[in-house]
Amino acid sequence: MAKSKPVRIGITWGDPHGIGSECILKAFADPRMFDDILPVVYGHVGALREQAQHFEVQVDITGVEDAADARPGSLHCVDIAPTLPTPDWGQPHPDAGEFARLSLEAAVQDLAATKVDVLVTAPINKDTIQSSQFKFPGHTEYLAKKADVEHVLMILASDALRVGVVTGHVALKDVAAHLSKDRIVQYGNMLNESLARDFGIATPRIAVLGLNPHAGDNGLIGEEEKTIILPAVRAMQEQGLKVSGPFGADGFFGSGDFKHFDGVLAMYHDQGLVPFKSLSFGQGVNFTAGLPIVRTSPDHGTAFDIAGKGLADGESLRAACWMAADIRKQRKEHRDMTANPLPVASKKHWERERF
C-alpha cells in the first residue's frame, strides 16, 4: 500500500516574547514528527535557528520563500518580516503583538490558498495583538470572521476528556445572560457533530453541566437549570442525541463520571477548562469546531514567566499537530462514509418520482 502524503501544517509563531517558538522547536526535535507531517512555521528563519541554539535543540530548519516549496523531513520556515529583533523574553510589547498578527495572517492566507492543509496556532498575548487591524478577543473569533462563520465551538481535547463551552471569552458576571435554551441546543448539536465528524465517534454520549452550584439544587440556588438547561437537554434528546444532565460540575468531575461520556458541554470557560487542565495540562489541545478548516492550538498561553529560560515543554504543541492531522484525515473518512454511494442512480430515481 502506498504511503499517504504528509499533512502540511501551517504553524504560527505566536507572541515572540513568549514560549511559542521554543515549544515549536522542542515539538519537532522528535524525528518521528516528520513521519506524517510536513511543518511550515511562519516567522523568521534566522531567528528560529538562533533560538534553536539558544535552547540547545537539535532540529533541521529549512528556509523557504513559499510554503508550497516545503518538502518532507525538515522544519520549514517562511519569513513574514525582514527581521525579528532579539526577544525581550516575558515582556508584553505592541511590536511583538504585531509580529504575531503578521504570522497569523500569512498562515491563514496560505491555508486559504491550499498551500498548507491545516492550521496550528502558537499562543498570542491577547492584549498586545490588538490594533486597528486586529480587534478580536482571540484566535477563535478572528478565524470565525475570516471564514464568515457566525458560531464556532471551542473544544479542549485530550485522551482523557473532551470539553466544549457554551460561552467562551465572556466575563463571569455576564454568563447567565448569554445562556438560552436555543444557544445550548445549538452548541450541543455542534459538539455532537464534531465528535462524529472530527473524532470518529459514531454515536457520541454527551454530558451537559449545570450553571449553579449543585446544578441549582432544584431551584434553591438558581433557576437556570430548570428554566433553560434542562429544557435544552430534553430538546436534544427529542432530536435523538444521547445527552444527559444537567450535572453539578464539582461532583461530575470529582466522582469520575466524566469517564462515561465522549464529550462534556460546560456553560462557561473556567467551568470546563479548570478540570480539563487539571487532568490534561501539557497534553491537551484546543480545537475550534464549526470552522470549514482545521485549527488546533496548545492548551497553554504565552507563559511569560518562563519565556526564554528553556523550561517550556513542546508536548502540547506536538499533540496539537498530531490532532490537526488526525482530524483532517477523520473528516475525509467521515465525508467518504456519509457520501451518497450512488449519486447518479439516486438522482434519476428522484427525477422519476417527481415527474
DSSP single-letter state for residue 70: -
| Residue ranges in the chain modelled with pLDDT below 50 | 1, 344-355
Count, residues in the chain: 355
Question: Where exactly does CATH 3.40.718.10 map onto the chain?
Answer: 1-149+291-355, 151-286
Q: What is the 3-state secondary structure (H, E, C) of 117-159?
A: CEEEECCCCCCCCCECCECCCCHHHHHHHHCCCCCCEEEEECC
Residue for grid cell 525579528: 84
Residue-level pLDDT at 348: 42
Residue-level pLDDT at 3: 62
Residue-level pLDDT at 341: 58
Residue for grid cell 498551500: 115
Residue 350 phi, psi dihedral angles, 5° rounding: -70, -30
Residue-level pLDDT at 282: 74
Closest to 207 measured CA to CA, from 172, 238, 162: 162
pTM for this predicted structure: 0.89
The percentage of the chain sitting over the pLDDT mark of 90, rounded to a whole number, equals: 83
Residue-level pLDDT at 217: 85
Residue-level pLDDT at 346: 47
Residue type, 253: F
Query: Which CATH number does 151-286 carry?
Result: 3.40.718.10
Residue for grid cell 537539535: 58
Going from the C-alpha of 82 to that of each of 45, 78, 132, the distances in angstroms are: 10, 11, 22
8 Å CB contact between 43 and 13: yes
DSSP single-letter state for residue 103: H
Going from the C-alpha of 129 to that of each of 43, 102, 139, 146, 292, the distances in angstroms are: 15, 10, 10, 17, 24
8 Å CB contact between 70 and 64: yes
* Residue 54 φ/ψ region, left for φ over 0, alpha for ψ in the -120 to 50 degree band, beta for the rest: alpha
Query: Which CATH number does 1-149+291-355 carry?
Result: 3.40.718.10
